Structure 1
Amino acid sequence: MPPVLALLLVLHLHVVGLSAATDTVSPVHPLVGNDRLVSGNGKFALGFFQLQASSSKRLLIAPVWVANRDDPLTEPNPWRLAISGDGNLVIASLTVNSTVWSTRANTKATDTVAVLLNNGNFVLRKASNSSNVLWQSFDHPTDTVISGGKIGRNKITGLNRRLVSRKNLISQATGEYYGGLDADSHQLVIAPLKKPSTPYWYSGEWNGNYFSLLPEMRSSSMLNSTYVNDEEEEYYMFAVLDETVILRHVLDVSGQAKTLIWNSDSQDWMDDYSKPNAPCDVFATCGAFTNCDDYALASCSCMKGFSIRSPEDWELADRTGGCIRKTPLDCRTGTTNKITGASLGVLGFSALILMLVLLVRSKMVWSGRRLNNTKTGGATITAFRYVDLQSATKNFSEKIGGGSFGSVFRGVLANSTTIAVKRLDSARQGEKQFRAEVSSVGTIQHINLVKLIGFCCERGKRLLVHEYMPNGSLDVHLFRSNNAIILGWSVRYQISLGIARGLAYLHESCRDCIIHCDIKPENILLDESFVPKIADFGLAKFLGRDFSRVLTTMRGTIGYLAPEWISGTEITSKVDVYSYGMVLFEIISGRRNSTEECTGGANDLVYFPVQVARKLVEGDLGSLVDRRLHDDIDCHQVVRACKVACWCVQDNESDRPTMAEVVQALEGLAELKMPPMPRLLHAIAGGSQSTNF
């Protein structure tokens, strides 16, 4: 790459050879050549820097703002940063009449100066009045925001401060992703720059202290976070409390938002945290014809038969170009490989089922070797040796859960990845659950489904390896009063929405409709950001797209079973809808539906769904929400959630919504009518209530 220059505002960490010790550009003192502006506290520097990489392919400086990110300057043409005749700040050539960049401030003043402030903000202002700021770099961030910078919009001027990732580890040019404050949902979001309306990460709404899906914010002792939404502005801003700490938020080339802290001992940046946590949760991070593996050293790799399209870009962390065929298709010869992407998914799924059948019938022993990258319809899982999992779990010593089919243990792989290992105990039932889980969750991926990393199948041993969920299961946070974390209403609503999205994906977006058959709080796991993950597919049932219902033995958990289970009729995906409705009631109340509560006289014990039925007519649904929230709720969302729950538990499955319709309702995209009273609930209520809610 030929040498190019860019006007960069950088943290004063690697900058050497400073030939200027001023913080100001004035009409008579431009910034030329190797001159640098340095802030009064010596923390920031601004100047023309050559974009070059170190041996590790990383830029040798730490830019926090770039003026001409998409118009780099070529040497040897000399350039200067100067105040133009109309008072604007410009990058212009010294030899030809050429202006590359300008602040384009609405000013005709001739007494302007540009000053690099101690907080890293580069401002254009009146020389005679320092408070009269005409333009500032904080209003035009590139891929970084630092202490005091805002992310958000000015409702009056339309100015939108957002981050856009750079092209690669060296080039500051516009990249593939943007991050900002969404005006509709009032959440921080990250989305593809070309598809801004389809974010792949959300922060959750501000609850007064932190964004609801970023609970780690409340334990931060380094930052003071601020969210403002008034008539003039809506923005998020943070301040570093310790001035000796050097910290920056960056929208990385990878599409992840990262908090980086400078480590003076190692003289390098240290990742504090990344969002999304998993690199593969970023939209199209690896490009076309690739595999993405969160647990591999290099997460992106080409599919078999393909090679990297641009090795140079790939080395610089820009992998969005993906891979291309090693041997181009030649349709004229009639000898091409006719397996398409869709066919590969079917073939992978069929191969998995055949593999499992062979394992059961021939009792094949996989010992002494590890099988990597087993394909299951687009997902990648690993076949582990039993001894490896025994070592990872310290001989299954840290039990974190269990059920009728086995126990779950915490473990750590050799690459430091924390895992959850489910050891299936019952030979017959365990075998069924093993096959059901691998053939369901092993073939699909969704942000609201627990990820199957691998499995072990040696002699009579059957183990499943899942991603570890540090916040455990939903029931712990809802029903155990001694738990330190009480889920706020906004978090509960996002959890309800996430579960609905996961079920909608299972029912409508997979090759076969997958009916979970055991939706309950114990089977909803929560990651470090309280994003819900549907787990435990041991009872799952497949329903081909050519069929609308299936006859199967009753399965699931009492209290969440749809009426058709009990009657012994054929079932559809609507049994999951019913179970979801019962779970939604429990998310609202923070207690078991089966727990009776005295609401009137000594004998007036009322089932919670019946209380919701009454309050939908009478009003005051807020009184039914978990008392631990102290009325810190969104009343509109409470009404919406209660209506959705009541629709989901209708006696007749045809009256229940699909999970896709539930998602629309919870997102506020569909209006809900008053649901009719289910006969079951009416009977529980003693038949004294109206036939409508």
Structure 2
Amino acid sequence: MVRPRERERERENLISCFRNQKWLPFFIISATFIFISLFPTISASYRITPNYTASYLHFVEDHGAFLYSQNRTFKAAIFNPGNQQTTFYLCVIHVQSHTITWSANRDAPISISGKILLSSHGLTVSDQNGNTKWSTPQLHSSVLAMMLSDFGNLMLLDQNDASLWESFHFPTDTIVMAQSLPVGTSLTSSLTESDDHLSTGNYSLSVTTSDSILQWGGSTYSKLSMDPNAHRNSNYLVEYLVLNTNGLSLFARNGSIIVLQVKLFPSDFRIAKVYSNGHFIISSFSGRDWNQDFVWPREICEIPYICGRIRLCSIVGTSNGPACSCPSGFKHEHQTNSCIPNEGSISLPLACNSSYNQSSQNFQNISYLGLGTGKYYYDIKFSDPVKYGINLSTCQDLCSKDCSCLGLFHRDSSGFCFLIHNHLGSFMSNVAGGSDLLGYIKILDAIYTADGASNHSRSPRQVSTLVALVIFPFAALLVAAGFALLWWRKRKKFLAGLEKSDHLSSPSFGEAEAFSIPGLPVRYDYETLREATGDFSTQIGSGGFGVVFKGTLRDKTVVAVKKITNLGLQGKREFCTEIAVIGNIHHANLVKLRGFCAQGTQRLLVYEYMNHGSLEKTLFGNGPVLEWQERFDIALGTARALAYLHNGCENKIIHCDVKPENILLHDHFQPKISDFGLSKLLNPEQSSHFTTMRGTRGYLAPEWLTSSAISEKTDVYSYGMVLLELVSGRKNCSPQPVQQSHSLDDDNSIGNSSSLSSNSGLVYFPMLALEMHELGRYLELADPRLEGRVTREEVEKLVCIALCCVHEEPALRPSMMTIVGMLEGRIELGHPRFESLNFLRFYGRRFSELSVIGNADQQDDFTTDQPHTSLLSASGTVHGTLSYISSQQVSGPR
């Protein structure tokens, strides 16, 4: 029963909406009425029985969806990608991400009037005239029902609910978790990544008995076993490929043996897709965005058609993709994105089945244009040459007699002769491997061509567009009306909920009951969280903004409850609004905010519980040693999370307190940054706290202690300090002895500040990292507990990135997006600027001096309420107290 005062409040809210947006209700009501009167709608089902017919027009309100999985994770729909109104497909779609995972009639789209029909014989897709465009094959039994599984598998079932046909057995370009790809089956890309067409393209992934391969036009250009992230575990014959929670695996012996595996961070939902550009990418969905977990092949110039026909692909000097150019003697034809001969009197040969058909007796019109040295073709690595031990002239004769041969490669030293058949792709440029490997393209003299036509062939493909002059504008109007109605209702419900919370917090009505808003964090009442935490009895952390307790909700979910004690006088409305923003931020490497409490003066945040605790306890504790790969994965995951906060959110978020205590570890040591939203919860009365000191000393960027502006580059500095600790396995500022070098003499020492000459043997690790970088002695920086289980190159990579992050000038520090690229190997490593790192030497000297005196703790007695002397003057000169490098914390662990 609705209380009178609540009914009156709802009435006032509605009147307010009408007053402020007079046109909106009238528009929504009118459009909805017209829509219902013209197109009677049908509700989507979980299970469909034969003699069922549907078209897009029956399900306009639900964008063509006529069937849902029981958990509503997937839907089957008559779908028009890109919201165009000419081409419609029968698709399976992941609801939350709006991603197509399977399509039936990808090469035979229907119009808006096309239909699907489920009969006892199977499923059919037909056009508006009833002509069949796609159908299931002949079945061995009658169909009793069609359903969509919770994994996205569209299934036809018989009277015993046994499967007669499954979409999983006929994949297109994508597989989902729990879907297997048996030996002999393939994924095939779309022709383009345009929003409105799903037609079959030229790239494919196939599963063989020993590997998984990528192909273009039937020719292999990469094998999964060649990727450094793929690990071979056995030599059994592969039976099928599976994408699961932990990565991609090739199985043998009925799934009992893993032959080849790509291990990835666990994810609740991920897909693997062959893209139209030739990449095979595994992506995980974090609730809002897709994250690329695995990209294959890594070297972009290995993709056969990445630059176009006969174009040269090079990655030298580029960071935003390949550099494409034409070989000498060729020019770029923009219409076909290919290279053609400069001279108009010569042309490229056509296919064997064309009017041009060579014979062994008549090839005097054939000649060859050379590509020069340093060129390579993808197919050479995976196909055998036709001959060894022959000269160039004989190799060219073999190509001239073969109408399918379009080019060749010849190596003079071995007589290697390799022919390129059927189609030409891109060539790799600037490839090492000897100057005697030369490539040639077959060309024809135009006066000898059989048809005497010009050498400029034109594309036969023409795209026809059906313009629905009446239906399209009207349908677009109805869709807009539907979206407007949903937005209006959700906004009204959210604001009404906030008003209700403020009203119910008054003594006359008692405390508010918990309520939830779809898509936003759950709102808990205080008693629920007090009960979950056992009256806040199990403390697992504390910091400057409150105390963290372990709790168990009524549904047995284990959570971490942060009881905020230092958030000022921020009101419920402002607090809830910020929670709504933070709750919509989702990433695999960010701790998920499950809910909150804003009741009376209580402010609590409910997070998912991380079972491995913090990086600080794992890295510096007495437990098992983190292996190098685990450290690298933690570094990469943390970088991805910060890059998302800086660039992937609607509003940029600066964490301001990146440190090992705030990097939590979940299953398989997956890193998740915590407290990324607390800076958004700070109100104006705390601005002085934010601008003068925010974070933890030892990780604070120099600009915190000057009048410099605070930006996302402050997080980059803190990340660099964490990276150095991951390398060494010790705190940067802890007074621990460092192992002395056995071979360092005075001639190799770097300046008077070198910690290596310190009598105390105590060292400020960032300075030591700088000195060892200058000497190229990286292995001495690695955690000695690894006992040689790491290479020099692996340590060098992280040290170089870390030093670039801790440059004194923020502008010299790379962005987190660039750091992710360097860690993944897509971007060349940066070079630390020594002139911007000299301040580390001062910190190192002061650290050593105070360590010898033995009163570092007394020197570091500092709080945010006390004034402090800047370490950096306006000119950049280092001076003052050592409080900056102290391990004493300002905000405390989270």
Give the alignment's TM-score, normalised by structure 1: 0.51
CA 234–403 in structure 1, closer or farther in 2 if over 3 Å, else same:
closer
Cα contact 1:518–1:539 (8 A) shared by 2:
no
Alignment match, 1:173: 169
SS of the equivalent of 2:773 reads: helix
Alignment match, 2:672: 533
2:545 maps to 1:386: no
Cα contact 1:479–1:591 (8 A) shared by 2:
yes
CA 333–434 in structure 1, closer or farther in 2 if over 3 Å, else same:
closer
SS of the equivalent of 2:521 reads: strand
Cα contact 2:505–2:511 (8 A) shared by 1:
no
2:556 maps to 1:411: no
Deviation string 1:447-506 (CA, Å, 9 cap, x unpaired) is: 1111111111111111111111111111011111x22x3211001101101111001011
Alignment match, 1:455: 596
| Aligned with 1:471 (options 605, 612, 632) | 612
Structural mapping, 1:88-107, within 5 Å: none
Alignment match, 2:627: 488
| Aligned with 2:695 (options 543, 547, 556) | 556
Structural mapping, 1:272-311, within 5 Å: 279=268
5+ unaligned residues in a row in structure 2: which ranges?
1-47, 51-134, 143-150, 156-161, 179-186, 194-223, 255-262, 274-284, 289-472, 683-688, 741-755, 847-894
SS of the equivalent of 2:759 reads: coil
Alignment match, 1:235: 232
Alignment match, 2:465: none
CA distance in 2, matches of 1:572, 1:291: 26
CA 423–193 in structure 1, closer or farther in 2 if over 3 Å, else same:
farther
Alignment match, 1:644: 801
* Paired amino acid for 1:680: F
Residue 410 of structure 1: CA displacement? 1.8
CA distance in 1, matches of 2:811, 2:499: 36
2:578 maps to 1:444: no
SS of the equivalent of 1:606 reads: coil
| Aligned with 1:428 (options 568, 589, 596) | 568
SS of the equivalent of 2:568 reads: helix
- Larger CA deviation: 550-559 vs 408-417: 550-559
Alignment match, 1:138: none
CA distance in 1, matches of 2:814, 2:619: 25
What is the percent sequence identity of the aligned residues? Answer: 34
Cα contact 1:167–1:253 (8 A) shared by 2:
no
2:367 maps to 1:369: no
2:145 maps to 1:74: no
SS of the equivalent of 1:611 reads: helix
CA distance in 2, matches of 1:644, 1:621: 13
Structural mapping, 1:472-621, within 5 Å: 472-480=613-621, 482-483=622-623, 485-537=624-676, 539-541=678-680, 552-596=691-735, 597-598=737-738, 599=740, 600=756, 601-621=758-778
Structural mapping, 1:173-212, within 5 Å: 173-174=169-170, 176-177=174-175
Alignment match, 1:680: 839
CA 178–362 in structure 1, closer or farther in 2 if over 3 Å, else same:
closer
CA 516–371 in structure 1, closer or farther in 2 if over 3 Å, else same:
same
Cα contact 2:245–2:268 (8 A) shared by 1:
no
Cα contact 2:504–2:510 (8 A) shared by 1:
no
Cα contact 1:622–1:638 (8 A) shared by 2:
yes
SS of the equivalent of 1:422 reads: strand
Cα contact 1:330–1:336 (8 A) shared by 2:
no
SS of the equivalent of 2:826 reads: coil
Cα contact 1:228–1:235 (8 A) shared by 2:
yes
CA distance in 2, matches of 1:430, 1:634: 51
SS of the equivalent of 1:540 reads: helix
Structural mapping, 1:123-162, within 5 Å: none
Residue 412 of structure 1: CA displacement? 2.1
CA distance in 2, matches of 1:330, 1:602: 81
Cα contact 1:436–1:538 (8 A) shared by 2:
no
CA distance in 1, matches of 2:666, 2:488: 31
Cα contact 2:287–2:587 (8 A) shared by 1:
no
CA 564–411 in structure 1, closer or farther in 2 if over 3 Å, else same:
same
When the two chains are superposed, the root-mean-square deviation of aligned CA atoms in Å is: 5.1
Alignment match, 1:244: none
Deviation string 1:364-417 (CA, Å, 9 cap, x unpaired) is: 688452312354xxxx31101222222222322222222222222222223222
Residue 418 of structure 1: CA displacement? 1.8
SS of the equivalent of 2:822 reads: helix
Cα contact 1:166–1:174 (8 A) shared by 2:
no
Alignment match, 2:823: 666
Residue 354 of structure 1: CA displacement? 11
Cα contact 1:520–1:583 (8 A) shared by 2:
yes
* Paired amino acid for 2:617: V
Residue 681 of structure 1: CA displacement? 0.8
Residue 251 of structure 1: CA displacement? 4.7
CA 449–673 in structure 1, closer or farther in 2 if over 3 Å, else same:
closer
Residue 76 of structure 1: CA displacement? 6.5
* Paired amino acid for 2:632: Y
CA distance in 2, matches of 1:230, 1:387: 53
CA 554–228 in structure 1, closer or farther in 2 if over 3 Å, else same:
same
CA distance in 2, matches of 1:333, 1:656: 50
Alignment match, 1:336: 481
5+ unaligned residues in a row in structure 1: which ranges?
4-69, 78-163, 181-191, 199-226, 240-247, 263-273, 285-289, 294-327, 544-549, 688-693
CA 561–555 in structure 1, closer or farther in 2 if over 3 Å, else same:
same
CA 420–256 in structure 1, closer or farther in 2 if over 3 Å, else same:
farther
Deviation string 1:212-255 (CA, Å, 9 cap, x unpaired) is: xxxxxxxxxxxxxxx99999x9633599xxxxxxxx99657999
Deviation string 1:521-540 (CA, Å, 9 cap, x unpaired) is: 11111111211111013542
CA 659–493 in structure 1, closer or farther in 2 if over 3 Å, else same:
same
Considering fraction of residues, name the structure with more helix: 2
Cα contact 2:286–2:586 (8 A) shared by 1:
no
CA distance in 2, matches of 1:393, 1:615: 48
Residue 179 of structure 1: CA displacement? 7.5
CA distance in 2, matches of 1:407, 1:503: 24
Considering fraction of residues, name the structure with more strand: 1
Number of residue pairs matched by the alignment:
420
Deviation string 1:557-607 (CA, Å, 9 cap, x unpaired) is: 111111111103321111111111111111111111111334455234321
CA distance in 2, matches of 1:497, 1:685: 28
Deviation string 1:70-124 (CA, Å, 9 cap, x unpaired) is: 98662269xxxxxxxxxxxxxxxxxxxxxxxxxxxxxxxxxxxxxxxxxxxxxxx
CA 654–238 in structure 1, closer or farther in 2 if over 3 Å, else same:
same
Cα contact 2:515–2:523 (8 A) shared by 1:
yes
CA 635–438 in structure 1, closer or farther in 2 if over 3 Å, else same:
farther
